[in-house]
């Protein structure tokens, strides 16, 4: 039996249903407490980022063999608990790389140009040309904090636009071919040298609030920040303060410490200009949904065979 607790591309769901008894219940992502009671007899669990795969869920699933992750981040899955129980965890590595890279580059363009929030003024009969002049991306520096597969694809797209790229990643060997055409720096160097900074790190105790008030002050004045990695990597109140001071000129956030983002949590961003907030969809496009669903369906069926 297979349980799917978050949205999955329909053809992939149908393929699973043709091979095994499969329950498609994406509503369970909002009803976490019900999941353990649905785990009896389940051999494969398929989730995205909102379902918490906890010891309680695993203990309720003695037949569980595999957890398929419709994406790449694994911070919602208790990996040590899975390992202890012999449950394999399979992410959709590479399937949404292009979607996230395009999200980052698109937002870098929009934030640097700072011309796309003039609707209200225009509708009121104003003509704010000076305020909307903005900056070109060509000739600017994109800074990447973390230089894994998604950041490498982002660098490729940015360089095609005429941007130069500086990146930090202590885990990627210096002789890795991905460094060709990319300046290697430490975190301080990336923050100080980039016009647009994009984060590409997991949420760990070491990266929690990595971008705090001190780090934000290290950014080049007028730079913009993009976080499509994990909520919690950025200290959100500190970012809001840096934007209000004018030191950080704009930000795009796809991930948040509180998800879904509540009205109360969002108040910290009240009144900020040149701010883009999206609901954790950087890696979610029609094309990536199909790739992710197909990959996880194939891998789950292989493991259950």
Express each pLDDT in 246-296 by its tens digit: 999 999 999 999 999 999 999 999 999 999 999 999 999 999 999 999 999
Taking the model in full, what pTM does it have?
0.91
- For residue 159, pLDDT over 90 is answered with yes
Distance CA 22, CA 288 (A): 22
Distance CA 83, CA 200 (A): 25
Q: Are 226 and 108 in contact (CB under 8 A)?
A: yes
The SS3 call for residue 252 is strand
The two structure tokens encoding residue 207 = 């990266």
Residue 75: band (very low, low, confident or very high) from pLDDT cuts 50, 70, 90? confident
Chain-centre distance of CA 30, in angstroms? Answer: 20
For the residues 193-209, what does the mean pLDDT come to? 96
The SS3 call for residue 112 is helix
CATH level 3 topology of 97-277: Rossmann fold (3.40.50)
- For residue 198, pLDDT over 90 is answered with yes
Q: Which of 15, 200, 215, 230 is catalytic?
A: 230
Distance CA 88, CA 36 (A): 18
2-95+285-304 shares its CATH topology with 97-277: yes
CATH code for the part of the protein at 2-95+285-304 = 3.40.50.720
For the residues 206-228, what does the mean pLDDT come to? 98
Q: Is 280 considered catalytic here? A: yes
The two structure tokens encoding residue 57 = 């869920």
| Domain chopping of the chain, boundaries | 2-95+285-304, 97-277
pLDDT at 73: 85
- Cis before 260? omega within 30: yes
Q: Is 247 considered catalytic here? A: no
Residue with tokens 């790190």: 201
Q: Are 183 and 212 in contact (CB under 8 A)?
A: no
Whose CA is closest to 41, among 64, 24, 23, 18? 64
Q: Which of 113, 247, 259, 303 is catalytic?
A: 259
Residue 42: band (very low, low, confident or very high) from pLDDT cuts 50, 70, 90? very high
Q: Could you tell me the CA-to-CA distances from 165 to 62, 109, 147, 152, 297 in Å, in that order?
A: 48, 14, 11, 10, 36
Q: Is 153 considered catalytic here? A: no
Residue 38: band (very low, low, confident or very high) from pLDDT cuts 50, 70, 90? very high
Between vectors from CA 11 to CA 9 and to CA 13, what angle results, nearest 5°? 70
The rounded mean pLDDT for the chain is 96
The two structure tokens encoding residue 6 = 């978050």
Residue 47, classified by CB atoms within 10 Å of its CB into exposed (0-12), middle (13-18) or buried (19+), is buried
The CA-to-CA distance between both ends of the chain, in Å, stands at 12
Quick: pLDDT tens for 3-14: 999 999 999 999
């Amino acid at each position: 039996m297979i349980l799917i607790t978050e949205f999955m591309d329909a053809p992939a769901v149908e393929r699973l249903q043709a091979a095994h008894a499969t329950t498609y219940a994406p509503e369970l992502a909002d009803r976490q407490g019900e999941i353990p009671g649905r785990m009896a007899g389940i051999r494969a669990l398929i989730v995205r980022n909102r379902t918490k795969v906890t010891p309680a869920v695993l203990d309720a699933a003695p037949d569980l063999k595999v957890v398929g992750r419709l994406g790449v981040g694994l911070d919602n899955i208790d990996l040590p608990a899975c390992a202890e129980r012999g449950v394999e965890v399979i992410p959709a590595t590479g399937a949404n790389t292009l979607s996230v890279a395009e999200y980052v580059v698109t937002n870098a363009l929009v934030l640097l140009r700072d011309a796309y929030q003039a609707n209200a003024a225009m509708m009121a009969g104003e003509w704010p040309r000076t305020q909307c002049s903005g900056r070109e991306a060509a000739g600017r520096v994109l800074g990447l904090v973390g230089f894994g597969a998604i950041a490498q694809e982002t660098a490729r797209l940015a360089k095609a636009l005429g941007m130069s790229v500086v990146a930090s990643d202590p885990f990627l060997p210096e002789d890795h071919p991905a460094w060709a055409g990319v300046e290697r720096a430490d975190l301080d160097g990336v923050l100080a040298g980039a016009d647009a900074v994009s984060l590409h790190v997991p949420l760990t105790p070491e990266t929690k609030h990595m971008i705090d008030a001190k780090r934000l002050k290290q950014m080049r004045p007028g730079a913009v920040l993009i976080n499509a990695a994990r909520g919690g990597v950025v200290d959100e109140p500190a970012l809001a303060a840096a934007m209000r001071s004018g030191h950080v000129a704009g930000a795009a956030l796809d991930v948040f410490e509180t998800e879904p983002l509540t009205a109360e949590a969002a108040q910290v961003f009240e009144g900020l200009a040149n701010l883009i907030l999206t609901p954790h969809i950087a890696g979610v496009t029609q094309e990536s949904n199909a790739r992710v669903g197909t990959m996880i369906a194939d891998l789950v069926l292989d493991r259950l065979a």
